[in-house]
Amino acid sequence: MIFREATVWRWSHIRHHSDTLIVGRDPEIAAQRPADVFGLLLNVFAIKTSIVTSKKIALHCTGRLTADERTFVPEVEHHKIYTVARLYVAIFGVVAFACLWFDTILPAMLIGLPTLYGGGFVLFFGLTQHAGLAENVLDHRLNTRTVYMNPIFRFLYWNMNYHLEHHMFPMVMFHALAQLHEETKAYCPPPYLSCWEAYREILPALARQVTDPTHCVLRKTPADAASSSTNLRSI
């Protein structure tokens, strides 16, 4: 459903959790700086990401990895990547043949095209995670959002709207993230009350980052807020 190679993504995601928004280390920064508005618009239908992944699959079929991939994928896992890339090509070849043979687009509607026509959901949810927040900080509370979502979105997203909690404790299963949120929210910045509230912050931040890549949204931890309040009272 999502056009990703499992082994590569497993290890890139481990790096993403270890070095979240650390420039040059995190391979999964969805909103690079300066903001690539055209690229984000293309990803409403997963066009840009699909092109990038297709090029990487073609490379993997030849038994090679990108320079970045070699920094986070263990060498013992390389053979899995090469094998699966070749299987991907074979599967998509069979799907294309089936579409031509049966004169219908239905096989592609089940395998391949869901990545494109479902890309908007991936982008919509994905940008709420980190877009516009601080880079090169080690505190997940400053670079990751938790956003309250309706039950349908939470089901589709597997409770990953509790994304700050997921980053702090990535081994906690998805069904327990709401409970974890209740246990930890006193120590975290306040959650966003809706997707609308989150995007009222994200979109202006991305727009400003087009011309000012240094701009970011500065989140405050409870300790920061208490310190600011104390300073104001002392003044």
DSSP per-residue string spanning 194-209: SHHHHHHHHHHHHHHH
Judge contact between 81 and 73, C-beta under 8 A.
yes
Q: What is the DSSP letter of 188?
A: S
Structure tokens at 208: 């400003």
Q: What is the per-residue pLDDT for 2?
A: 83
Per-position pLDDT tens, the chain of length 235? 789 999 999 999 999 999 999 999 999 999 999 999 999 999 999 999 999 999 999 999 999 999 999 999 999 999 999 999 999 999 999 999 999 999 999 999 999 999 999 999 999 999 999 999 999 999 999 999 999 999 999 999 999 999 999 999 999 999 999 999 999 999 999 999 999 999 999 999 999 999 999 999 999 999 875 655 454 354 4
Beta bridge partners, 133, equal 217
Residue type, 12: S
Residue type, 176: A
CA 155 to chain centre: 17
Q: Model pTM?
A: 0.90
**CA–CA gap between residue 11 and residue 155 (Å, rounded):** 25
Q: What is the per-residue pLDDT for 225?
A: 58
Q: Which residues contact 126 (CB under 8 A, 6 or more apart)?
A: 30
Beta bridge partners, 162, equal 146
